[in-house]
């Protein structure tokens, strides 16, 4: 009762209600919120602190930046969503706020597009060597029917594409990537696609910043060939899976295109089934039958496994 009253009290102020609505639409920094609201940074920071303490907002740090988003878990998350959904859509103050937010989203998209243009050439060269990514996405959608999974973690999220296509099929989706530039691209893409249940966070695939046994679906899409120790990345993915949770790994079958190592920093020239299955077994995962998608000269394989052993307890929640 006390926690509920504290949360209601925290939200019962015009600026704080505006902040809740804005943070329901996107991850936003203090400076971005200050610009939208037209208020001083200390004042906005105080409001944000109260909302975070009440469990209505989540705060996450990435390098020197802190991002705020409507709470995804905990007692305040459902209340926050209810309050946001109750706000009249034709309120003139909020209409202006959302117009300013759209300007910020467009600016992000321009920065993301510039980064992507600088780096797209190498991705296009690699894509030309294997199967059309649309076929891979169709196979993934077949593996993730609507309503089957509640919590998705996309490890090495890159552009956020996996969250964009699978997000509508789960309750919550979290993307993890070490690169702040790629997180900029991912946030821009998720803003454009209006994916409200998906967010991204900076983190290391070997030390995911989430609790053990907190997801029932994990995806590692075209990331493992960059890993120094892929078995460690698989073991860490297994740690965060609940019992009966599923891991999906999408990568290249073993190949001999050596220039991918020298020109594109691939650490591994694809993988053999027996190696992936051995790493699954060591991580307490039961391997399923792989799915092969032939290309020229690179073949894509989707390896799946289920966690059937009790998960270890550990870190704090995400």
What is the rounded CA–CA span in Å between residue 131 and residue 180? 28
Q: How many CB atoms are located within 10 Å of the residue 241 CB?
A: 27
Q: How many CB atoms are located within 10 Å of the residue 236 CB?
A: 18
Q: Which residues are within 8 A (CB) of 242 and not within 5 positions of it... i.e. 6 or more apart?
A: 213, 214, 215, 216, 307, 311
What is the rounded CA–CA span in Å between residue 264 and residue 228? 14
Q: Look up residue 315 and give its DSSP letter.
A: S
CA 249 to each of CA 40, 134, 222, 252: distance values in angstroms, whole numbers, following the listed order: 46, 16, 8, 10
pLDDT band of 119, cuts 50, 70, 90 = low
Task: Name residue 246's beta-bridge partners.
Answer: 217, 306
pLDDT computed for residue 117 by the predictor: 64
In the block, tokens 């989706």 appear at 173
pLDDT band of 122, cuts 50, 70, 90 = low
Which pair of tokens denotes residue 263? 């020109």
Span 148-161, pLDDT tens digits: 999 999 999 988 99
What is the rounded CA–CA span in Å between residue 23 and residue 97? 11
Span 71-105, pLDDT tens digits: 877 778 888 989 899 888 888 999 999 999 999 88
Domains assigned to the chain = 2-100 (1.10.10.10), 129-307 (3.40.50.150)
């Amino acid at each position: 009762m006390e926690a509920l009253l504290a949360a209601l009290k925290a939200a019962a102020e015009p600026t704080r209600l505006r902040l809740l609505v804005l943070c329901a639409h996107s991850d936003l920094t203090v400076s971005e919120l200050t610009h939208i609201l037209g208020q001083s940074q200390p004042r906005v920071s105080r409001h944000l602190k109260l909302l975070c303490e009440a469990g209505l907002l989540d705060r996450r740090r990435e390098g020197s930046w802190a991002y705020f988003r409507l709470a995804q878990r905990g007692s305040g998350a459902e209340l926050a969503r209810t309050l946001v959904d109750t706000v009249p859509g034709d309120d003139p103050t909020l209409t202006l706020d959302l117009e300013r937010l759209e300007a910020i989203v467009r600016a992000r998209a321009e920065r993301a597009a510039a980064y992507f243009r600088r780096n797209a050439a190498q991705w296009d060269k690699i894509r030309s060597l294997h199967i059309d990514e649309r076929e891979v996405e169709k196979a993934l959608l077949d593996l993730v029917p609507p309503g089957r999974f509640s919590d998705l973690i996309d490890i090495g999220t890159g552009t956020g594409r996996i969250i964009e296509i699978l997000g509508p099929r789960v309750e919550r989706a979290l993307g993890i990537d070490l690169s702040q530039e790629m997180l900029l691209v991912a946030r821009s893409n998720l803003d454009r696609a209006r994916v409200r249940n998906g967010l991204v966070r900076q983190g290391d695939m070997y030390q995911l910043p989430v609790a053990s046994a907190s997801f029932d679906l994990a995806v590692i899409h075209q990331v493992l060939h960059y890993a120094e120790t892929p078995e460690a990345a698989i073991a860490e993915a297994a740690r965060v899976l609940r019992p009966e949770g599923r891991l999906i790994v999408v990568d290249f079958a073993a190949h001999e295109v050596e220039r991918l190592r020298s020109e594109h920093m691939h650490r591994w020239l694809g993988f053999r089934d027996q190696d992936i299955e051995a790493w699954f077994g060591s991580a307490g995962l039961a391997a399923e039958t792989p799915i092969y998608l032939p290309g020229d000269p690179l073949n894509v394989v989707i390896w799946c496994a289920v966690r059937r052993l009790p998960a270890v307890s550990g870190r704090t929640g995400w």
